[in-house]
Amino acid sequence: MNENQLNILFSNGILVDSSIKDINILDLDLLIKSLKGKNITFLDMDTFHKVYSGETADDSSVEIVKNYEGEISESKPVNWVNYFNDRFSRIKNILIMKDRSGLMSLSNIKNMPQSSDVKTIAMVSSVSVSPIKKYTILDIEDNTGTYKAIITNSNQEILEDQVITITGRKYNDAIFVKDIVLPDIQMKEKTKQEMDDAFILFISDIHIGSRLFVAEAFEKFIKWINGDILEYSNIAKLVKFIVLNGDLIDGIGVYPDQEKELGIKDLKGQYDKLYEYLDRIPKHIKILISQGNHDATHIAEPQPKLDRSFAGSLYNLKNGIFLSNPYQVNLTVSKTKINLLSYHGFSIPYYANKIPKYSKMDAEDIESIMKIMLKSRHLAPSHGSTQLMPLPMDYLVIDETPDIFATGHIHKTLASIYKGTVLINSSCWQHQTSYQKKYGMVPDVAKIPIVNLRDKSFQILDFLGDKVQIYKKGLKEV
Ligand SMILES: [Fe+2]
Ligand SMILES: [Fe+2]
């Protein structure tokens, strides 16, 4: 704010707190009009951000739907049995809601005569292809036993541990499959149009502490969110939520020779540096904070919220909301509710390795893998696709269809839509590491996918260049 602007504010009867004298005001007339309209005569930082974001009262809220509170479970057989029973019964219930007619258990099917028409819900315990006839053979199981199902003419991708409804005919102690139904998500409606624009930003994989962290680009983002950069400042003003989806810091000892690429070599120091940035984000914006495989917590999922002994400084953020990985919340703005499912995405590379057509792990492949998760109603459908803790409840089951499904981890950016659910993968803030170079992985750096909660439209902004600009790659539909 320059001397002239201070004088104009003063002559309009508005006193200014010293805390905001360094702030760059882009539209002084608009600011004065807003202040006068609200009878505000003293401008401090909080008031400035409230007025700047077009509100005097906080009309946004976060309601937790699913969040892991940190209970512990040992890896022993009985716990795994209970874990898989919970997963099976919850996904089975989703399938029953779709179609409950004519369902029978595998033990019933075993006792039925040959050539009977049968229908069952089962978990796929293995998938193989017959060497001679190229049939797909599924070993399936439910709480009553095991059986085989033979697929002769389906292109459908069936993966281990998916829970599916199988319709077919019994021959020679196997079900010859006519139809397979995956639980899948429900079609989501567009959100209400009556509310004003309100934006949510998706940031992950900041990797603070790495020498490859793009400090300049992140600084540009911080300036932008404070309204100090003209480009797309109309969006910055109306941001209500920021999702920080894991790998907030680079951590220590996560990949071979990481030490050589670290600028800050202790976990606390890395989180403290992150706090310095996040503390500069306007306080009316709620920051949803969760962790990934580089953060200071156990790798097995679900991961509990950040550990205060390392990330204690972050807990000083008045606008920080600390959550597990994964989590599901309802975000409310002006009485419009948006369901958000956030998962760091550790299971994604498993499917890129397992399914050759997704091996490039580009935006389209990540989108396809995210669709597998939604269709399977599970964030890591195949056992082994991520490390798990066998809790009595499986936190990775997708019980409720989200409006937005957000992941990170891959260091690529993506914004797309599937059955009305917005799919987001949120880039990274770190140049290519030696590890990524070795595997030919080229990251998308400093891109921010943004969703308008009013109508679920989306775009991606690029903070890497000289100017903040729209990024087209990885964007499927606006
Ligand atoms: Fe990462
Ligand atoms: Fe990660």
Q: Report which bound ligand comes closest to the CA of 435.
A: 1
CA 393 to ligand 1 center in whole angstroms: 27
The reply to whether CATH 2.40.50.140 applies to domain 99-181 is: yes
Question: What is the pLDDT at residue 78?
Answer: 97
What pTM did the predictor assign?
Answer: 0.88
CA 268 to ligand 1 center in whole angstroms: 18
Output the six-digit token pair for 293. 């495989």
Q: Quick one: pLDDT band at residue 54, thresholds 50, 70, 90?
A: low
Least confident of 32-46, 367-381, 400-414, 434-448: 32-46
Output the six-digit token pair for 126. 């293995």
Query: Is residue 196 pLDDT above 50, yes or no?
Result: yes
Question: What is the pLDDT at residue 115?
Answer: 96
Query: Is residue 42 pLDDT above 90, yes or no?
Result: no
Q: Quick one: pLDDT band at residue 440, thresholds 50, 70, 90?
A: confident
**CATH architecture group of domain 60-70+187-470:** 4-Layer Sandwich (3.60)
- What's the first-to-final CA gap in the chain, in angstroms? 36
For 217-275, write each residue's pLDDT tens digit. 999 999 999 999 999 999 999 999 999 999 999 998 888 888 888 889 899 999 999 99
Output the six-digit token pair for 114. 């040959």
Q: Quick one: pLDDT band at residue 56, thresholds 50, 70, 90?
A: very low
3-state secondary structure (DSSP) of residue 170: strand
Q: Quick one: pLDDT band at residue 445, thresholds 50, 70, 90?
A: very high
Q: Quick one: pLDDT band at residue 23, thresholds 50, 70, 90?
A: confident
CA 290 to ligand 1 center in whole angstroms: 13
CA 60 to ligand 2 center in whole angstroms: 29
Q: Cite the residue boundaries of each domain of the chain with CATH code 3.60.21.50.
A: 60-70+187-470
Query: Is residue 30 pLDDT above 80, yes or no?
Result: no
Residue 182: which region, alpha, beta or left (left: phi > 0; alpha: psi -120 to 50)? beta
Average pLDDT, the chain: 92
Q: Which of 134-138, 191-195, 323-327 is predicted most confidently? A: 323-327
CA 392 to ligand 1 center in whole angstroms: 29
Please tell me the distance from the alpha carbon of residue 218 to that of residue 208, in angstroms, as a whole number.
10
- Span 341-350, average pLDDT: 97
Q: Report which bound ligand comes closest to the CA of 293.
A: 2
CA 331 to ligand 1 center in whole angstroms: 25
For 318-330, write each residue's pLDDT tens digit. 999 999 999 999 9
- Looking at residue 376, its amino acid is S
For 78-102, write each residue's pLDDT tens digit. 999 999 999 999 999 999 999 999 9
Least confident of 214-218, 251-255, 385-389: 251-255
Within 10 angstroms of residue 392's Cβ, the number of other Cβ atoms is 11
Q: How far is CA 171 from the centre of its chain?
A: 44
Question: What is the pLDDT at residue 53?
Answer: 59
3-state secondary structure (DSSP) of residue 475: strand
Q: Cite the residue boundaries of each domain of the chain with CATH code 2.40.50.140.
A: 99-181
